[in-house]
Chain A
Amino acid sequence: MDQTVTPNNLVTLDRVGLQQDGRWLVRGVDLNIGRGEIVTLIGPNGSGKSTTARLALGILKPNEGEATRAKNLRVGYVPQRFDIDWSLPLSVDRLMQLTGKLEATAINTALERAGVAHLLKSEIRHLSGGEFQRVLLARAIARKPDLLVLDEPVQGVDFAGEVALYELISEIRDTLDCGILLISHDLHVVMAATDRVICLNGHVCCQGTPQAVAESPEYLNLFGGSAAATLAVYEHSHDHTHLPDGTVQHADGSVTEHCHPDDGHHHEQETTDAG
Chain B
Amino acid sequence: MLDDFFTRALIAGIGVALVAGPLGCLIIWRRLSYYGDTLSHSALLGVALALVFQINIMLAVFCVCALVSLMVLLLQRRTLLPSDAILGLLSHSTLALGLVCLSLMSWIRVDLMALLFGDILAVSRFDLMLIFTGGVGVLGVLMVIWRPLFAATVNSELAHAEGLDPRRHTVVFMLLMATVIAISMKIVGVLLITALLIIPATAARRFSTGPEQMAILAGVAGVTAVIAGLFGSLAWDTPAGPSIVVAAAAIFLATQVLAACLGRAR
Closest to A149 in B: B161
Binds B, one of A70-78, A194-202, A233-241: A70-78
Closest to B209 in A: A89
A123 to B210, CA, bound (A): 9
- B209 pairs with A123, CB closer than 8 A: yes
Binds A, one of B97-105, B116-124, B150-158, B228-236: B150-158
Residues of A contacting B214 in the complex (Cβ-Cβ under 8 angstroms) = 89
- B161 pairs with A77, CB closer than 8 A: yes
Asked, given contacts A82-B155, A89-B214, whether A75 binds B161 with beta carbons under 8 Å apart, the answer is: yes
Of residues 158 through 210 on chain B, the ones whose CB sits less than 8 Å from some CB of chain A are: 158-164, 202, 205, 208-210
Residues of B contacting A54 in the complex (Cβ-Cβ under 8 angstroms) = 157, 161
Asked, given contacts A89-B209, A94-B210, whether A99 binds B159 with beta carbons under 8 Å apart, the answer is: yes
Q: Is B213 an interface residue (CB 8 A)?
A: yes
Task: Provide the main secondary structure of the chain A interface.
Answer: loop
Interface size range of chain A in the complex: 20 to 34
- B157 pairs with A59, CB closer than 8 A: yes
Give a binary string over A52-84; 1 marks a CB under 8 Å from any B CB, 0 the rest.
001001110000000000000011110100101
- B210 pairs with A89, CB closer than 8 A: yes
A77 to B151, CA, bound (A): 13
- A74 pairs with B208, CB closer than 8 A: no
Of residues 82 through 118 on chain A, the ones whose CB sits less than 8 Å from some CB of chain B are: 82, 84-85, 87-91, 94-95, 97-101
- B28 pairs with A74, CB closer than 8 A: no
Q: Is B77 an interface residue (CB 8 A)?
A: no
Asked, given contacts A90-B154, A90-B210, whether A85 binds B29 with beta carbons under 8 Å apart, the answer is: yes
Closest to B150 in A: A98
Asked, given contacts A90-B210, A91-B209, A91-B210, whether A85 binds B31 with beta carbons under 8 Å apart, the answer is: yes
A142 to B17, CA, bound (A): 37
Closest to A101 in B: B147
A82 to B156, CA, bound (A): 10
Residues of A contacting B209 in the complex (Cβ-Cβ under 8 angstroms) = 89, 91, 123
Residues of A contacting B159 in the complex (Cβ-Cβ under 8 angstroms) = 98-99
Interface size range of chain B in the complex: 20 to 34
Asked, given contacts A94-B211, A123-B209, whether A88 binds B163 with beta carbons under 8 Å apart, the answer is: no
Asked, given contacts A89-B205, A90-B154, whether A57 binds B211 with beta carbons under 8 Å apart, the answer is: no
- B205 pairs with A87, CB closer than 8 A: yes
Task: Name B154's contact: one of A77, A91, A98 (CB within 8 Å).
Answer: A98
- A88 pairs with B211, CB closer than 8 A: yes
Of residues 224 through 254 on chain A, the ones whose CB sits less than 8 Å from some CB of chain B are: none
Closest to B154 in A: A98
Residues of B contacting A79 in the complex (Cβ-Cβ under 8 angstroms) = 155, 157-158, 161
Residues of A contacting B151 in the complex (Cβ-Cβ under 8 angstroms) = 98-99
- B162 pairs with A88, CB closer than 8 A: no
Residues of A contacting B213 in the complex (Cβ-Cβ under 8 angstroms) = 89
- A99 pairs with B162, CB closer than 8 A: yes
Closest to B30 in A: A85
Closest to A140 in B: B162
Q: How distant is B150 from chain A, measured CB to nearest CB, in Å?
A: 8
A217 to B147, CA, bound (A): 49
Q: How distant is A92 from chain B, measured CB to nearest CB, in Å?
A: 11
Residues of B contacting A77 in the complex (Cβ-Cβ under 8 angstroms) = 157-158, 161-162
Closest to A99 in B: B162
Q: Is A185 an interface residue (CB 8 A)?
A: no
A212 to B160, CA, bound (A): 35
Q: A75-B162, A76-B162 are in contact. List 14 more A-B contacts (CB 8 A).
A: A54-B157, A59-B157, A79-B157, A85-B29, A88-B29, A89-B213, A94-B211, A98-B151, A98-B158, A98-B159, A99-B159, A99-B164, A100-B147, A100-B162
15 contacts between A and B (CB under 8 A): A75-B161, A75-B162, A77-B158, A77-B162, A79-B155, A88-B211, A89-B205, A89-B214, A90-B154, A90-B211, A94-B211, A98-B158, A99-B158, A99-B164, A123-B209
Closest 7 CB pairs of A and B: A77-B161, A57-B161, A99-B162, A89-B208, A99-B151, A98-B151, A87-B28
